[in-house]
């Protein structure tokens, strides 16, 4: 019997009830970047109860890796879920709402953790596969790069993982459908801060100063020409100014103004181009106004680029679970970012979206009214099990 065929509708129904319980517990107790102490302990407790072979804690601070060996030897396969919540006040009033004011699972990582636990529970009991599964429970996906922390902490040196797979629920994509494409799936995430330093003056005598606010206004508009006039129309880039800080009162021209924002691209060459152009424009505007510009540009997350072979395998597994008509093989990439990109830089991998439907009251990710759609827990767990079947089949069962 192949491992995926053992996951019968009855077994799946029982598992789904368990996953829902775990998911609601995690939702009620959200923890944010690198503070996922209770969440990690919850994961460890479950993995111990399932009887996985090894549990490694503290990888990338609060990350956890569980190991399940199949009946026969074979390659190592990495399955990754993120565990962290967001700094956001939850608007919902259902029983499992956040019990920690100002923190909320608004990206569905509670569901991701529950689905990987569900698959772990099943795989620990049914080891009809040839190889080793590494269950990667990752901290700090939001903003802080927990994926990078795990990679830098030796994730791929400590465990000889040959390929790695990630999954994210996707409101707006039909419930229980999948979407994946080779190449760019999600964008890079860069931040910038430009400090303009001029000469403060009486607002009634601007000729005696060097006005940073007029320069800031020009700069914000000029930055918009990067995507419009510098990057090829056939490539993609977003340059968004999100903060302007300068001045305190009515009649003073401030000395300093600070402009901050974010840049998104899919391609390293475009990323290089945007950064260079942003620096040039800041210096050019500064020269024009006789002031100085200091630019801090920080590359946070690289783009999420699916490897061709792993993307094909992920699509094959998704198709086996829900049928070809429910797998979109050419979705438009998202300008959002995802730190699974760090795992993909270290190891061939593929990242798939699992449709969450319209979502709780039509809410998108990061909305205070969002809740993970429990209807897709079963599909997600089946996908993980099918991926193990597809990549690590027992020789006797065929591929």
Q: How far apart are CA 117 and CA 111, in angstroms?
A: 10
- Binds Zn ion (CB under 5 A): choice among 68, 107, 237, 253: 107
107 vs 347, which CB is nearer to Zn ion? 107
Would you say 142 is a known binding-site residue?
Answer: yes
| Candidates 33-41, 103-111, 121-129, 173-181; binding stretch for Zn ion (CB under 5 A) | 103-111
The least CB distance from residue 354 to Zn ion, in Å, is 12
* Binding track, positions 65-84, relative to Zn ion; x by CB under 5 A: --------------------
The least CB distance from residue 17 to Zn ion, in Å, is 25
The least CB distance from residue 124 to Zn ion, in Å, is 26
201 vs 364, which CB is nearer to Zn ion? 364
Site residue total, Zn ion (CB under 5 A):
1
Bridge pairing between strands 72-82 and 161-171? parallel
**Tokens at 61, concatenated:** 């601070």
76 vs 351, which CB is nearer to Zn ion? 351
Query: Looking at the chain, how many residues does it have?
Result: 399
Residue number of the CB closest to Zn ion reads 107
Cβ atoms of residues 127 and 6 within 8 Å: no
**Tokens at 294, concatenated:** 């200091």
The least CB distance from residue 353 to Zn ion, in Å, is 11
Cβ atoms of residues 162 and 75 within 8 Å: yes
**Tokens at 368, concatenated:** 């205070």
Cβ atoms of residues 60 and 36 within 8 Å: no
Could you tell me the sign of the dihedral formed by the alpha carbons of 143, 148, 152, 157, in that order? positive
The least CB distance from residue 191 to Zn ion, in Å, is 16
88 vs 215, which CB is nearer to Zn ion? 88
Would you say 109 is a known binding-site residue?
Answer: yes
Q: C-alpha angle 335/338/343, rounded to 5°?
A: 135
- Residue corresponding to tokens 């969450």: 356
124, HSE (Cβ side, Cα atoms, 13 Å): 20
Would you say 36 is a known binding-site residue?
Answer: no
| 43 is an interface residue for Zn ion by CB under 5 A | no
Sequence ranges of the binding site for Mn(2+): 107, 109, 142, 168, 366
Residues binding Zn ion (CB under 5 A): 107
């Amino acid at each position: 019997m192949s491992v995926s065929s053992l996951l019968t509708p009855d077994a799946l129904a029982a598992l789904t009830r368990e996953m829902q319980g775990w998911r609601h517990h995690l939702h009620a107790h959200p923890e944010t970047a690198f503070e996922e102490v209770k969440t990690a302990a919850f994961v460890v407790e479950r993995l111990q109860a399932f009887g996985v072979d090894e549990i490694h804690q503290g990888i990338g601070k609060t990350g956890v890796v569980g190991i399940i060996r199949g009946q026969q030897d074979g390659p190592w396969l990495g399955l990754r879920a993120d565990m962290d919540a967001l700094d956001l006040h939850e608007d919902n009033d259902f029983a499992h709402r956040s019990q920690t004011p100002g923190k909320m699972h608004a990206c569905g990582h509670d569901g991701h953790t529950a689905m990987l636990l569900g698959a772990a529970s099943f795989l620990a009991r049914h080891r009809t596969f040839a190889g080793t599964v590494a269950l990667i429970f990752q901290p700090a996906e939001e903003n802080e790069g927990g994926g990078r922390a795990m990679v830098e902490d030796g994730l791929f040196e400590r465990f000889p993982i040959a390929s790695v797979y990630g999954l994210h629920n996707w409101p707006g994509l039909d419930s229980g459908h999948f979407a994946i494409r080779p190449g760019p799936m999600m964008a890079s995430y860069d931040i910038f801060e430009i400090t303009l330093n001029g000469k403060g003056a009486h607002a009634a005598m601007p000729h005696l100063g060097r006005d940073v606010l007029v320069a800031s206004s020009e700069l914000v508009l000029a930055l918009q020409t990067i995507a419009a006039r510098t990057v090829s129309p056939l490539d993609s880039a977003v340059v968004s100014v999100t903060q302007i800080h300068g001045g305190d009162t009515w009649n003073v021209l401030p000395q300093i103004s600070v402009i901050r924002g974010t840049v998104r691209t899919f391609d390293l060459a475009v990323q290089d181009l945007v950064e260079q152009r942003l620096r040039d424009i800041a210096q050019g505007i500064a020269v024009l106004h006789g002031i100085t510009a200091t630019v801090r540009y920080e590359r946070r997350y690289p783009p999420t680029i699916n490897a061709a072979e792993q993307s094909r395998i992920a699509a094959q597994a998704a198709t086996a679970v829900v049928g070809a008509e429910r797998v979109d093989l050419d979705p438009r990439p998202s300008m959002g970012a995802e730190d699974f990109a760090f795992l993909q830089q270290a190891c061939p991998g593929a990242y798939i979206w699992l449709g969450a439907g319209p979502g709780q009251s039509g809410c998108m990710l990061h909305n205070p009214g969002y809740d993970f759609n429990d209807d897709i827990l079963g599909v997600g767990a089946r996908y993980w099990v099918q991926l193990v079947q597809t990549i690590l089949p027992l020789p006797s069962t065929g591929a």
